[in-house]
Structure 1
Amino acid sequence: MSRKVLITGGTGMIGTRLAEMLIDGGYEVALLSRQPGNSRYRGFRWDPLAGTIDEAAVRYADYIINLAGSSVSDGKWTQDKKREILSSRLAGTKLVARELAKGGHHVEAFISASAIGIYGDQDDRIVNEETPPAANDFLAQVCQQWEEAALSVEQEGIRTAIFRIGLVLSPDGGALVPLARTVKMMAGAPLGSGRQYMSWIHLDDLCRLLIEALEEPQWQGVFNAVAPNPVTNKDFTETLASVLHRPLVLPKVPEFGLKLVMGEMSELVLASQRVSAEKILKHGFVFEFPHLKPALESFYSSEE
């Protein structure tokens, strides 16, 4: 009998690939969605902000993977946008936790997303899961509240694993798309000082990690979901340019220019996060793409 996985945020970049890989692995997949008819998977309706959810959703699942949250890299961080970034994560997580607390289900594990934004700007210090969250940092505060909501599920006796996800590499979405576009247009350049660290993970490695965490009981608690070899922004840009066979002709993009264009959102590319993958390696996870160049080549190797 195949195992049933319920995904929140299943239509996003990570959720889309994760659902494909789960199906390939013999799982059944259903999505929690505001418009459940729009997908090839079974769907259950929910509206996190209204606090409504189809009661059959949680009863369907053996496992729940919680990825729901509005994009942080889509549009300037106005007050409304910041409210949406926080509420879209908190409301969904709290709603699932509320349903799980009612009992009458057979959910064995709850896997929830968080982000390495919890560490804030750490310069070149290596941070791990024991590093305290950054103070006075918007994304760090969002992640902290998001994780607290997820940990409330653990109090119901359900195995809970939280993954602090780094920069996810995919040609279909996320930060790599605009970065690759500028390099292809011969307009690529290191951002800010170029010395800030980028802790990244290939989309397929992230999905394999989440799937491994479903059934293996050692995955409990908080983990960094990053490849073991973070790189500086300058190295990232140069590696991307070499894979795309494009020269880097421009000098660095100055920090003040980025702040002007992106506002507070510029911290996504300017904050330095050198995040350790040691804990997931010790838990036995094996990366297909531990190094940046082969990860990028897996997307762009056919492009000359």
Structure 2
Amino acid sequence: MNFLITGGTGFIGSALCAHLCQQRHHIVVKTRYPESLGLEMTGVTSLSEVSPDQRFDVVINLAGEPIANKRWSAVQKQKIVDSRLDTTEEIIAFLKNAKTKPAVLISGSAIGYYGTGATDAVIDEFGAGDDSFSSTLCAKWEASALAAEVLGIRTCLLRIGIVLGCGGGALQKMIPPFRLGLGGRIGTGTQWMSWIHLHDLIAIIDYCISDNSVHGPINCTAPQPVSNQDFTKALGKCLKRPAVLPVPSLAIKALMGEMGTELLLAGKQVRPVKLEAAGFKFKYKELGAALTSVL
């Protein structure tokens, strides 16, 4: 099939592109760094370089400024928003002019959509958001992507949890202090961590491509979310290191501000209710097996 992908050089996107290349699909990647792509893919810096006559079966939108790389100043927050909305709006404009519409648009989002309010309730795809930055960001991003439905294009919104995989993501930042024996729970440790193995995330994308009945928001999380305290214990056990040095909430707030409060001190029990009801099979349901696979 013919794929158009944004964000194809990021942590998730690069793994996805490698997977699709193995299946001999044809891939066009919109990226700021086309020279970094392998010979089996075509890189463009703007969709204006792509002819409206070119047919794509699937469009996958994963582009966006990393949300956890820098403290959230007003400038950085605007950059995070613009990087997602501008790219999505560029895709919608391209699709409006495309002579042949793709069968599906798969667009990124995150479980940050559900906000930061403390609760132990199970969150499914009908869960509501709030006025936090993460929630409003995801809501705007999803609304922009849903413009594809007006064009008759099936649209899937991937509300992605904490992705566990090699070479990037949350684990890349967590492992160094744990290897030094400096790991431990964050804050109270009671906040939920709704995670997913990178292998299963790519399998979900495959599922969205092949099953024409799948559409709308999809919780991309493993069936067994854990508390932060249980997550750090499992990581310490996997690395054969102690996980007994907690990071106080006050330290997180002082060092990271709003970003630390929303991304590290808040968390909800998000479950893949729609996927499980549809019969999707996860390879990694249990955290210990997922960590062992990655590490």
| TM norm structure 2 | 0.95
Deviation string, structure 1 residues 2-40 (Cα, Å, up to 9, x no partner): x11111000000001011111223322221112323211
| Aligned pairs, number | 292
Contact 1:129-1:222 at 8 Å conserved across structures: yes
**Contact 1:167 1:200 survives alignment (8 Å):** yes
CA distance in 1, matches of 2:223, 2:129: 21
* Contact 1:32 1:57 survives alignment (8 Å): no
Q: 1:126 aligns with which of 102, 122, 125?
A: 122
Match of 2:149 among 145, 154, 178: 154
| Cα distance in 2, alignment partners of residues 57 and 12 from structure 1 | 26
Q: Residues 262 and 73 of structure 1: is their aligned pair in 2 closer, same or farther, counting only changes over 3 Å?
A: same
- What is the distance in 1 between the residues matched to 2:28 and 2:113? 29
Corresponding residue SS for 2:146 = helix
Q: 1:217 aligns with which of 212, 231, 235?
A: 212
1:74-89 pair list within 5 angstroms:
74-89=69-84
**Is 1:171–2:166 an aligned residue pair?**
yes
Residue of structure 2 in register with 1:15 after alignment:
13
Which sections of structure 1, spanning at least 5 residues, go unmatched?
none
1:49-94 superposed Cα distances (whole Å, 9 cap, x missing partner): xxx6323278242111100001001011111110011000000001
2:45 maps to: 46
Q: Which residue of 2 aligns with 1:259?
A: 253
Q: Using the alignment, how far apart are the partners of 1:239 and 1:104 within structure 2?
A: 51
Asked whether the 8 Å contact 1:58–1:100 carries over to 2, the reply is no
Instruction: Using the TM superposition, give the Cα deviation of residue 241 of structure 1 relative to its aligned residue in structure 2, in angstroms.
Output: 0.4
Asked whether the 8 Å contact 2:190–2:229 carries over to 1, the reply is yes
SS in 1 for 2:187: coil
- Structure 1 stretches of 4+ with a deviation exceeding 6 A read none
SS in 2 for 1:112: strand
Report if the CA contact (8 A) 2:52-2:98 is conserved. no
Residue 293 (str. 1) matches residue 291 (str. 2): no
Matches within 5 A, 1:134-283: 134=130, 136-250=131-245, 252-266=246-260, 267-283=262-278
Deviation at 1:263, TM superposition (A): 1.4
